[in-house]
């Protein structure tokens, strides 16, 4: 059932209520019936509900496209499929894990501040004024984004392998919205009689989708050590924080006024609380080709590919509603969500050694670029009755018009050796990074354009530890609608800071 359908159902409910409550107000009731449909248009979609439990509401506030973790990766704009060579590689390209030469432990934390400026364009009706709050809403959160331990080892001296255990916080649901609304509709037959509505909507959403992963990588052929493959098995479970919740509160007052009367017709207090748990299993595979001295002595090229298999997750949806203070029973439904397949290609290039000879302190320069494709037409929710719905538009998949999206990410990394001379090399390496990206999000009939830039830096102590930090700015203008009424659109401004700590220990392999 779509949100538009729900609105018409509630309008019918209100008419039935008015017939019961206003039998002795025949003249005024006729006025109410003539302008009630317009008054119903004032109500924001989120405040409208039917008696049944709605399908799961799946609104990612972070990028809906699968991306990996780590401050170093974020610093180069997320162009890390080929460049990945640390403990976060399992989240980007498991085949790249084989580059690890010692035991590694990693921890990534992040902080996000997101601003959404909502706009509505209510219809213009004769003798009426409609208004819904157009303002900025913001939310801030901090969390553990990634944690892992990676263990390299050799088999029969020729086969280098790496296994790792990883936790990743992948999708975010955090959103805080407050919408005031007013409406004033004049009786076309008597301009002194007015139907007015005052309402307030409070909407809160929080939660995440996270996974626990086991990754494995190997150099399968000793004769071609530049080639490696790997895979990651991911378990999504509510105990791993794969769950989210929504809380909606609505207060409204509908009344009719005239020159010598004020008649309250209906006051509404409505609350709805929904909780969702997400359980599923999927696999990713990755490959890496790493070759030295390709064009010139001392240069290096890396080419990577990753494929994330589609999978079906199971959602448990619990819902409780309260109407005018009376709380109904908890309703529980079981639903299914088909997550789409996605795949990407990455390329990275290191400039040759002679490029650095006359550049004091500069020891390495890497440039990288990724293309990533996600098939959102296969993103399908199967509700408790077996009906298929696109979670993007809440229409049938055939009518939704949702299509694939193609990301582009690129970045550059400069590495500096503070004591670099012909004879002395420092134990510390400093890095500066920058990146940019195009990150479209699926909508009905196409996609919304999101763009971003990033800056980062870090320090590595050889055979010890690495610390990286990065800032990302992601933005979009006139995207949506997220709320499918009144020509809703929004501008998004998202600020993200990542900090990563990686420890190296054990003998090198």
Rounded Cα–Cα distance for residues 461 and 503 (Å): 10
Rounded Cα–Cα distance for residues 73 and 168 (Å): 14
For the chain, the residue count is 509
| Residue 261 exposed, middle or buried by CB count within 10 Å (0-12, 13-18, 19+) | exposed
Helices (H), 175-312: none
Instruction: Mention every residue, 6+ apart, whose C-beta is less than 8 A from residue 224.
Output: none
Rounded Cα–Cα distance for residues 455 and 496 (Å): 11
User: What is the predicted pLDDT for the residue at 55?
Assistant: 66
* Matching residue, tokens 């509709």: 185
Helix (H) or strand (E) holding 12: helix 3-21
Rounded Cα–Cα distance for residues 93 and 291 (Å): 17
User: What is the predicted pLDDT for the residue at 245?
Assistant: 94
pLDDT tens string 151-185:
999 988 778 999 999 999 999 988 998 888 777 77
pTM of the complete model: 0.85
Rounded Cα–Cα distance for residues 419 and 360 (Å): 9
Task: Give the gyration radius of the chain's Cα atoms.
Answer: 28
Is the distance from CB of 307 to CB of 284 less than 8 angstroms?
A: yes
More confident residue, 19 or 74: 74
Task: Flag the least confident range among 256-265, 278-287, 359-368.
Answer: 256-265
Selection from 188-202, 248-262, 306-320 with the highest mean pLDDT: 306-320
Which neighbouring-strand residues pair with 166? 148, 213
> How much is the average pLDDT of 421-427?
59
Q: Which of 502, 350, 478, 338 is nearest to 414 (CA)?
A: 350
Which tokens go with 229? 């493959």
326: left (phi over 0), alpha (psi -120 to 50) or beta: beta
User: What is the predicted pLDDT for the residue at 129?
Assistant: 66
* C-beta neighbour count of 93 within 10 angstroms: 31
The single-letter DSSP state of residue 355 is G
Instruction: List the CATH number of the domain containing 457.
Output: 2.40.160.60
Rounded Cα–Cα distance for residues 228 and 220 (Å): 6
Residue 194 phi, psi (nearest 5): -130, 140
* C-beta neighbour count of 291 within 10 angstroms: 12
The single-letter DSSP state of residue 5 is H
Instruction: Mention every residue, 6+ apart, whose C-beta is less than 8 A from residue 71.
Output: 108, 456, 458, 468, 469, 470, 498, 499, 500
Task: Flag the least confident range among 204-213, 267-276, 425-434.
Answer: 425-434
Q: Would you place residue 426 in the very low, low, confident or very high pLDDT band (cuts 50, 70, 90)?
A: low
| Structural domain count of the chain | 1
Which tokens go with 91? 């989240």
Is the distance from CB of 118 to CB of 177 less than 8 angstroms?
A: yes
Is the distance from CB of 134 to CB of 118 less than 8 angstroms?
A: yes
Which neighbouring-strand residues pair with 184? 129, 196
Is the distance from CB of 161 to CB of 100 less than 8 angstroms?
A: no
Q: Which domain holds residue 122?
A: 3-53+62-505
Q: Would you place residue 34 in the very low, low, confident or very high pLDDT band (cuts 50, 70, 90)?
A: very low
25 pLDDT higher than 60:
no
Rounded Cα–Cα distance for residues 157 and 155 (Å): 5
Rounded Cα–Cα distance for residues 312 and 281 (Å): 8
pLDDT tens string 328-375:
899 999 999 999 999 999 999 999 977 777 677 788 899 999 999 999
Rounded Cα–Cα distance for residues 310 and 413 (Å): 33
């Amino acid at each position: 059932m779509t949100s538009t359908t729900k609105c018409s159902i509630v309008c019918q409910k209100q008419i039935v209520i008015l017939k019961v409550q206003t039998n002795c107000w025949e003249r005024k009731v006729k006025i109410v019936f003539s302008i009630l449909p317009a008054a119903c248009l004032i109500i924001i979609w989120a405040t409208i509900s039917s008696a049944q439990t709605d399908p799961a509401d799946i609104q990612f506030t972070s990028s809906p496209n699968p991306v990996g973790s780590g401050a170093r990766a974020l610093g180069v704009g997320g162009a890390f499929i080929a460049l990945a060579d640390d403990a976060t590689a399992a989240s980007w390209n498991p085949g790249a894990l084989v580059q690890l030469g010692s035991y590694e432990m990693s921890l990534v934390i992040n902080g996000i501040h997101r601003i959404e400026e909502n706009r509505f364009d209510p219809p213009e009706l004769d003798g009426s004024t409609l208004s819904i709050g157009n303002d900025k809403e913001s939310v801030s959160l901090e969390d553990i984004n990634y944690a892992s331990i990676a263990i390299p080892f050799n088999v029969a001296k020729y086969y280098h392998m790496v296994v790792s255990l990883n936790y990743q916080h992948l999708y975010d649901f955090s959103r805080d919205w407050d919408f005031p609304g007013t409406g004033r509709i004049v009786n076309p037959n008597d301009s002194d009689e007015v139907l007015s509505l005052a309402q307030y909507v409070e909407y809160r959403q929080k939660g995440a989708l996270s996974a626990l992963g086991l990754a494995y990588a190997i150099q399968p052929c000793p004769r071609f050590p530049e080639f490696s493959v790997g895979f990651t098995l991911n378990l999504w479970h509510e105990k791993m924080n794969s769950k989210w919740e929504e809380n909606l509160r609505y207060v409204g007052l509908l009344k009719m006024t005239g020159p010598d009367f004020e008649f309250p017709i209906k006051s509404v207090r409505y609350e709805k609380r929904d909780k969702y748990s997400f359980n599923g299993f999927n696999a990713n595979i990755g490959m890496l080709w790493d070759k030295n001295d390709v064009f010139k002595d001392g240069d290096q090229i890396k080419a990577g590919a990753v494929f994330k298999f589609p999978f079906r997750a199971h959602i448990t949806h619990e819902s409780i509603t309260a109407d005018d203070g009376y709380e109904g029973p908890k309703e529980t439904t079981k639903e299914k969500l088909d997550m789409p397949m996605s795949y990407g290609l990455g390329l990275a290039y290191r400039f040759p050694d002679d490029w650095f000879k006359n550049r004091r302190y500069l020891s390495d320069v890497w440039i990288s670029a990724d293309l990533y494709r996600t098939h959102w037409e296969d993103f399908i929710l199967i509700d408790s009755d077996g009906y298929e719905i696109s979670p993007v538009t809440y229409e049938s998949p055939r009518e939704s018009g949702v299509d694939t999206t193609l990301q582009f990410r690129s970045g550059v990394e400069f590495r500096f050796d503070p004591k670099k001379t012909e004879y002395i090399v420092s134990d510390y390496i400093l890095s500066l990074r920058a990146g940019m990206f195009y990150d479209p999000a699926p909508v009905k009939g196409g996609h919304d354009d999101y763009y971003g830039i990033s800056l980062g830096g870090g320090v590595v102590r050889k055979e010890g530890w690495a610390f990286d930090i990065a800032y990302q700015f992601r933005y979009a203008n006139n995207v949506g609608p997220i709320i499918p009424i009144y020509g809703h659109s929004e501008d998004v401004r998202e600020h993200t800071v990542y900090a990563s700590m990686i420890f190296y220990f054990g003998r090198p392999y």
